[in-house]
Amino acid sequence: MTVYQKINHFFDKLEDKVRGRLSHHPLVYSFIGGVGIVLFWKGVWETAEYYPSLHGVSSLLLGALIMLPTGLFVSFFIGDSIILSGIKHEKKIVEKTEAELRAETVDLKILIARLDSIEKKLDAQIH
């Protein structure tokens, strides 16, 4: 196992433990996460200030050149769910009627029941 793999494994396990504990306290989780995000971006901002060429338009262009090929530009600013709902011609939640929302809830419950049934059949075949 390489040093990178060891470090990655350590932080993966640590993340699982911390997320597991914090998920029971959403307000504390939100506060800690918010502080972490702000401090991270503060560090990025202050580091970029050391490079005079990273001001204004050049900073904007470099950021776009990094985010476009990685797929983060559209994903971050628009989000996958908005794109998918547009492709499917779905209404926004605020535009849906109560009846439509209830029908979706029923459909989801049916799907969950089917998945539970499939899971039980698979477990029975394995054991």
Tokens standing for residue 29: 């989780």
Query: From CA 83, how far away is CA 88, in angstroms rounded?
Result: 9
Helix (H, G, I), strand (E, B), or coil: what is residue 18?
A: helix
- The helix (run of H) or strand (run of E) holding residue 56 is none
User: In this structure, what are the phi and psi dihedrals at residue 25, rounded to the nearest 5 degrees?
Assistant: -135, 75
Q: What is the pLDDT of residue 5?
A: 92
Rg (CA), the chain: 22
Query: From CA 127, how far away is CA 76, in angstroms rounded?
Result: 43
Q: Which distant-in-sequence residues (6+ apart) come within 8 Å of 96 by Cβ? A: 104
| Axis crossing angle, helix 26-48 with helix 3-22, rounded to the nearest 10 | 140
| Mean pLDDT, all residues of the chain | 85
Span 21-74, pLDDT tens digits = 888 888 999 999 999 999 999 999 999 999 988 888 999 899 889 988 887 777
Query: From CA 32, how far away is CA 36, in angstroms rounded?
Result: 6
Q: What is the pLDDT of residue 101?
A: 73
pTM of the entire predicted model: 0.54
Q: What is the pLDDT of residue 50?
A: 92
Tokens standing for residue 5: 């793999």
